[in-house]
Structure 1
Amino acid sequence: MAYESSVPYRAGTEGYTSFRIPAVVRARSGHLLAFAEGRVSSAADSGTIHIVLKRSADAGRTWGPLQVVARNGSGTAGNPAPVVLDSGRVLLLQVHNAADATEDRIRRGRVPPADGRRVWLQHSDDDGASWSPLREITDQAKLPQWRWYATGPGHALQLRHGPYAGRLLVPANHSTPPTGPQDSGTEPRYNGGHALLSDDDGATWRIGYTDSYTDSHSHSGGDSDRSVAPNETTAAELPDGSVYLNARNEAAAAWRRVDAVSTDGGEHLVRPFRPQAGLAGPAVQGSALHLGDRGALLFSGPAHPAARALMTLRTSRDGGLTWRTAHTVGGLPAAYSDLVRLDRHSVGLLYETGDFSAYSTITFRRIPVEEPT
């Protein structure tokens, strides 16, 4: 099947060595806002990194000029997590840290809190053309004992249905300090996931559910390589108002995806994250999107069992219990992605891909979706 595609970001252009970590939303006007991390001097996850934006007025066929939305001096501004409010305002949550504060050093407790992962917010009231000053919300969004921290990455939610309609929900993840002097703090058992919640359009925030490492020996006497350590979570609201959550698993290789459900707007999980064998693939971020009252739940991510390759769109008609392949986007290397609804007949996929590396471009594709008869 042929797809319309465009390339908003290409490594080695526009003053950036690399572009990573895509996130996309559709503004109330219909404009698409494609965010990414613009990595200045290298492709590394730390250093001088800006949050950049390109906008499209024609559903992703062409893109306007690059805008720098957020800087952190010579340090890192990253993990864009945008959400479009009912009012039309676009909120952008993000995380900052010092240039030399690598994830490993942060997890090991070798970075002062002021240089570590801090949570910030800004907004746009003109579909991304201009942006407010940054406002820090770390004290509301992050527990003092948490070390590593990340929002999203990928789009966040404003809930539409049920008693929690209007609530903002931002999936996030964190790490905790090691439990003994010999621990480095980098092991999967120190990973956890949580949600940030706001009931006043982002004026104030609080932490909702939290979930951490689950050793399978505490359930059913399973093998340790079937443990769960949620990371890089994506969320989708189901028609009944419940929230489906799907996360990358940082524990051993048996289960690469794990999922959970919240029925109280992200305050708690019905049960902890558990394996989702229907979404086989490598350890990587993915994106979930529900198409509406009678539509399907979609998930995008690489489907190769071991490598970041074979970007695939999968679909569920039972709220994420079971999955089938809907579209194989391509067999090339591919990594992070984000989904956005374009219209009744199509979705957009913003994803990392390239001929020989998953990180050569951030490409946008229009993908047709099935509508129920």
Structure 2
Amino acid sequence: MAYESSVPYRAGTEGYTSFRIPAVVRARSGHLLAFAEGRVSSAADSGTIDLVLKRSADAGRTWGPLQVVARNGTGTAGNPAPVVLDSGRVLLLQVRNAADATEDRIRRGHVPPADGRRIWLQHSDDDGASWSPPREITGQAKLPHWRWYATGPGHALQLRHGPYAGRLLVPANHSTPPTDPQDSGTEPRYNGGHALLSDDDGATWRIGYTDSDSDSDTDTGRSVAPNETTAAELPDGSVYLNARNEAAAAWQRVDAVSTDGGEHLVRPFRPQAGLSGPAVQGSALHLGDRGALLFSGPAHPSARALMTLRTSRDGGLTWRTAHTVGGLPAAYSDLVRLDRDTVGLLYETGDFSAYSTITFRRIPVEEPT
């Protein structure tokens, strides 16, 4: 199947060595907002990293000039998690840290809190043309003992159905110190997932559900460490959550459901073998009127390659392949609804490296069977 595609970001251009971590939303006007991390000096996950944006007025066929939405001096501003409110305002949650605060050092407790992962928020009332000054919300969004922290990455939600309609839900993840006081901290696992919730359009925030590998039960064989979670609202108002699994297990993805707007999980995250692939971020999107739940991510069993769109018609219980986007290297992605017949996929890909471009593809939505 042929796809219309465009390349909003290409490594080694526009003053950046690398672009990573895509996130995309459709503004109320119809403009698409494609966010990414612009990595200045290298492709590494730490260092001088800006949050950048390109906008499209023609559903992703062409893109406007690069905008720098957020800078953190010589440090990192990253993990974009945008959401479009009913009012039209676009919120952008993000995480910041010092340039030398690598993920490994943060997880091991070797970084002071002031230089570690902190959560910030910006907004735009003109479809992303201009942005408010950043506002820090770390005190509301992060528990004091959490070390590593990331919002998304990928689009967040404003719930549309049921008793929690209007609530903002941002999937996020964190790490915790070793639970054994004799542990020196040399093993920096201890991954956990959680949700950030707001019932006042982002004025205030609180932490909803939490789930982590410290909750794993060796008696039952549960080995789950949720990380980099994506969320989709189902037609009945429940929220489907799907996460990368950092535990040493045969399955690489885990999922869960919340029926109270992200406050709690019906049950802890559990394996989802129907979405085979490598350890990587993915994106979920529910089509609403078509009744299908979509998931984007690499489908190669061990390599970041073979970007694939998969679909579920039973709320994420079972999955099948809807579209194989391509067999090239591919990694992170985000999905957006364009119109009744089309979705957009913003994803990392390239001929020989998954990180050569961030490409946008328009993908027809299949008819129900």
Q: Which TM-score applies when normalising by structure 1?
A: 0.95
Secondary structure, counterpart of 2:221 in structure 1 = helix
Cα distance in 2 between the residues matched to 1:22 and 1:217: 27
Secondary structure at 2:288 match in 1? coil
Change (3 A) 1:343 1:22: same
Q: How does 1:1-373 map to 2 (within 5 A)?
A: 1-180=1-180, 183=183, 185=185, 187=187, 189-208=189-208, 227-372=223-368
320 and 215 in structure 1: CA distance in 2 versus 1, 3 angstrom threshold: closer
- The whole-number CA distance in structure 2 between the counterparts of 1:275 and 1:252 is 12
CA RMSD after TM alignment:
2.3
Mean CA deviation greater in 355-364 or 181-190: 181-190
The 10-residue stretch of structure 1 (114-123 or 172-181) with the greater mean CA deviation from structure 2:
172-181
Change (3 A) 1:180 1:162: same
Q: Structure 1 residue 219: deviation in Å?
A: 11
The alpha carbon displacement at 1:51 in A equals 0.2
Distance in 2, Cα, partners of 1:219 & 1:94:
27
In 2, distance between residues paired with 1:179 and 1:36? 35
Equivalent-residue separation in structure 2 for 1:185 and 1:324 (angstroms): 41
| TM superposition outliers: structure 1 runs of 4+ over 3 Å | 180-189, 213-226
Contact kept? 1:104, 1:186, Cα under 8 Å: no
3-state SS in 2 of match to 1:293: helix
Distance 1:141 1:72 in 2: 19
Question: 8 Å contact 1:217–1:223 — kept in the other structure?
Answer: no
Contact 2:174 2:191 in 1 (8 A): yes
Q: 1:201 to 1:17 in 2, by over 3 A?
A: same
How many matched pairs?
A: 369
- Relative to 1, partners in 2 of residues 1:219 and 1:232: Cα closer, same or farther, differing over 3 Å? closer
Asked if structure 2 preserves the Cα contact closer than 8 Å seen for 1:168 and 1:202, the reply is yes
Distance 1:189 1:151 in 2: 18
Conserved 8 A contact 2:191-2:213: no
Partners in 1 of 2:243 and 2:195 — Cα distance? 12
1:150 Cα offset (Å): 0.2
What is the CA distance between 1:189 and its match in structure 2? 4.9
Equivalent residue of 1:146, what SS?
A: coil
**Are the structure 2 counterparts of residues 170 and 216 from structure 1 closer, same or farther at C-alpha, using a change threshold of 3 Å?**
closer
Distance across 2 between alignment mates of 1:23 and 1:185: 33
Deviates more, 1:179-188 or 1:332-341: 179-188
Determine if contact 2:194/2:211 at 8 Å carries over to the other structure.
no
Query: Bigger CA drift: 94-103 or 252-261?
Result: 252-261
Contact kept, 8 Å, 1:247 with 1:259, in 2: the verdict is: yes
Superposition deviation, residue 140 in structure 1:
0.2
- Provide, for residues 84-127 of structure 1, a one-character-per-residue CA deviation record: whole Å limited to 9, x for no partner: 00000000000000000000100111111000000000000000
- Note the C-alpha offset of 1:216: 13
- CA distance in structure 2 between the partners assigned to 1:368 and 1:161 by the alignment: 25
What CA deviation, in whole Å up to 9, does each residue of 1:53-90 have, x standing for no partner? 00000000000000000000000000000000000000
1:227: Cα distance to partner? 1.1
Question: Partners of 1:217 and 1:99 in 2: how far apart?
Answer: 28
Structure 1 unaligned blocks of 5 or more: none
Q: Distance in 2 between matches of 1:139 and 1:221?
A: 30
8 Å CA contact 1:107–1:186 kept in 2: the answer is no
**Structure 2 unaligned spans of 5+:** none
Q: Percent identical across equivalent pairs?
A: 94
Q: Distance in 1 between matches of 2:312 and 2:161?
A: 20
Superposition deviation, residue 370 in structure 1: 1.8
Q: Does the 8 Å contact 1:175/1:192 carry over to 2?
A: yes
Q: Deviations over 1:200-255 (max 9, x none)?
A: 000000000xxxx9999999997998611000000000000000000000011401
Answer yes or no: is the 8 Å Cα contact 1:226–1:254 preserved in 2.
no
Indicate how the Cα distance of structure 1 residues 346 and 249 shifts in structure 2: closer, same or farther if over 3 A, else same: same
- CA separation of 1:172 and 1:218: change in aligned 2, threshold 3 A: closer
- Contact in 2 for aligned 1:249/1:257 (Cα 8 Å): yes
Deviations, residues 122-179 of structure 1 (Å, cap 9, x unaligned): 0000000000000000000000000000000000000000000000000000000112
CA distance in 1, matches of 2:214, 2:80: 35
2:141 and 2:204 map into 1 onto residues whose CA distance is 9
**SS at structure 1 position matched to 2:163:** helix
Q: 1:265 to 1:218 in 2, by over 3 A?
A: closer
After superposition, the Cα gap between the structure-2 partners of 1:345 and 1:99, relative to the gap in structure 1 and judged at 3 Å, is same
Alignment partners' CA distance in 1, 2:48 and 2:189: 29
Tell me how far apart the structure 1 counterparts of residues 61 and 364 of structure 2 sit (CA, whole Å): 15
Q: Is the 8 A contact 1:280 1:303 kept in 2?
A: yes
**Structure 1 39/190 Cα, relative in aligned 2: closer, same or farther at 3 Å?**
same
